[in-house]
């Protein structure tokens, strides 16, 4: 965490403005901290915009959302926050809409489905800042030893997992449904089974749909029930632990995002990546994830915030951040550069998934609570004797109640 700054607002000369930005840290050490990115970017911005200073506070993902919530509750909202969710603040009319901040070319350059995910009631408040998609990672060495090829269907995945188990692989398929990020693994499987958290036609939650119940019934009976998901019960296995086990060569297959590539390569794990298998072939829709930038109205700095954000979303700055952290760019122009650049070849499979990706229903103020509920209880669907229909119905009831209260 960087030093907490003393305040924000007008400083020095009456025309001078200090913007306060609270940002999440994408690094895993002091050497890779996002602080370095923001220091470089704000120095360049301030050189071009005398009279405007940008003070940045960087917090870990474990605390940044809570920090912003505390600031807002205390009446000390930052000018900008780069965090995980925006809908609650938009619903309380605390944020500037994108139309008030971004130039038309910059706004038009945002990847369409990411920009759309930033809308509440048709107005964009959340600006996508970083994105990623998911692919199925598999350990090439373990697959070659077992004479396997990458799976394309659920049946092939289960068959491969059984073959890996027979050879003593600790986690034939790692299924992290623990409280850290169970909502992600859940969504990936829901999409692969033809379902999802919401009904795209009706725009309502569809957590207990027949497709979703069928997906978790299949997982319970064909993977977990046959001992193909490893020694830790899925409801207790967190994503970070699953990733660590993969980099140690103990996992045959798991869903992963781009940053896993770098970690696995450092550990010398040879891996392949394919779209998530589905019922009859590769999943048509992958899971996309976005983190968000938002601008608070409290300090009345719309003009300065706008010039700063137009700078943030310049192609070179978007590319710099994306390449630092193996993430996908949130602008079409930067995506085009990455898709054709040799240095970004390892990210191309993830980029190819982005146009057909679906994101969490982040525009709903209910999503934060629904997501937390999924993290707590989804693991119970695949336990011995567990009832996917019962668990998903309870989640649906909660989601309906929250939606009705909005």
Using CA atoms, how far apart are residues 24 and 333, in angstroms rounded to an integer? 24
pLDDT at 5 over 50: no
CA pseudo-torsion sign 268, 270, 274, 277 = negative
Cα angle vertex 320, ends 316, 325, to 5°? 155
pLDDT tens, position by position, 261-286: 989 999 999 999 999 999 999 998 88
pLDDT digits (tens, 9 = 90+) for 343-358: 999 999 999 988 888 9
Q: pLDDT (tens digit, 9 = 90+) per residue, 223-262?
A: 999 999 999 999 999 999 999 999 999 999 999 999 899 8
Place 28 in a pLDDT band, splitting at 50, 70 and 90. Answer: confident
Provide the mean pLDDT of the chain. Answer: 93
Encode pLDDT of 80-98 as tens digits: 999 999 999 999 999 999 9
CATH topology of domain 9-132+289-358: D-Maltodextrin-Binding Protein; domain 2 (3.40.190)
pLDDT score of 356: 82
CA–centroid distance for 300 within its chain: 30
**The dihedral sign for the CA sequence 359, 88, 84, 22:** positive
- pLDDT of 60 higher than 70: yes
What is the predicted pLDDT for the residue at 11? 38
Phi (first) and psi of residue 58, to 5 degrees: -115, 130
State the helix-helix crossing angle for 302-312 and 34-48, rounded to 10 degrees.
120
Q: Are 9-132+289-358 and 135-275+366-405 equal in CATH topology?
A: yes
**pTM recorded for the entire structure:** 0.87
Domain 135-275+366-405, CATH:
3.40.190.10
Q: Which letter, b or e, does each residue of 112-122 get, where b requires 16 or more Cβ atoms within 10 Å of its Cβ?
A: ebbbebbbbee
Q: Where are the domains of the chain?
A: 9-132+289-358, 135-275+366-405
């Amino acid at each position: 965490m960087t030093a907490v700054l003393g305040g924000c607002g007008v400083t020095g000369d009456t025309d001078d403005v200090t913007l306060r930005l609270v940002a999440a840290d994408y690094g895993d050490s002091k050497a890779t901290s996002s602080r370095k990115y923001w220091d470089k970017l704000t120095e360049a911005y301030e050189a071009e915009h005398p009279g405007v200073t940008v003070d940045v506070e960087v917090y870990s993902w474990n605390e940044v959302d809570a920090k912003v919530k505390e600031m807002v509750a205390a009446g000390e909202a930052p000018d900008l926050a780069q965090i995980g969710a925006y809908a609650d603040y938009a619903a309380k009319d605390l944020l500037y809409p994108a139309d008030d901040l971004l130039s038309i070319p910059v706004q038009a350059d945002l990847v369409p489905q990411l920009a759309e995910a930033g809308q509440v009631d048709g107005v964009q408040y959340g600006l996508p800042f970083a994105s990623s998609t998911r692919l199925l990672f598999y350990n090439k060495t373990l697959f070659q030893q077992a004479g396997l090829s990458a799976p394309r269907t659920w049946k092939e995945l289960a068959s491969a997992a059984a073959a890996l188990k027979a050879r003593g692989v600790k986690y034939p398929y790692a299924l992290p449904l623990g409280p850290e990020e169970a909502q992600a693994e859940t969504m990936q499987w829901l999409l692969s089974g033809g379902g999802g958290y919401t009904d795209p036609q009706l725009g309502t939650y569809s957590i207990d749909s027949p497709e979703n119940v069928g997906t978790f019934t299949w997982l319970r009976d064909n993977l977990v029930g046959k001992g193909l998901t490893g020694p830790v019960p899925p409801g207790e296995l967190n994503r970070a632990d699953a990733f660590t086990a993969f980099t140690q060569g103990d996992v045959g297959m798991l869903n992963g995002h781009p940053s896993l590539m770098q970690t696995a390569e450092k550990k010398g794990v040879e891996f392949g990546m394919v779209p998530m298998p589905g019922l009859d072939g590769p999943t048509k829709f992958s899971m996309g994830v976005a983190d968000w930038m938002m601008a608070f109205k409290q300090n009345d700095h719309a003009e300065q915030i706008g010039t700063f954000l137009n700078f943030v979303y310049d192609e070179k700055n978007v590319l710099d951040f994306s390449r630092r952290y193996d993430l996908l760019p949130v602008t079409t122009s930067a995506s085009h550069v990455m898709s054709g650049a040799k240095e970004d070849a390892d990210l191309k499979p993830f980029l190819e998934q982005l146009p057909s990706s679906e994101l969490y229903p982040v525009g709903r103020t209910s999503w934060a609570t629904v997501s937390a509920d999924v993290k707590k209880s989804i693991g119970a669907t695949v336990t011995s004797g567990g009832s996917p229909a019962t668990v998903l119905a309870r989640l649906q009831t909660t989601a309906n109640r929250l939606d009705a209260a909005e």
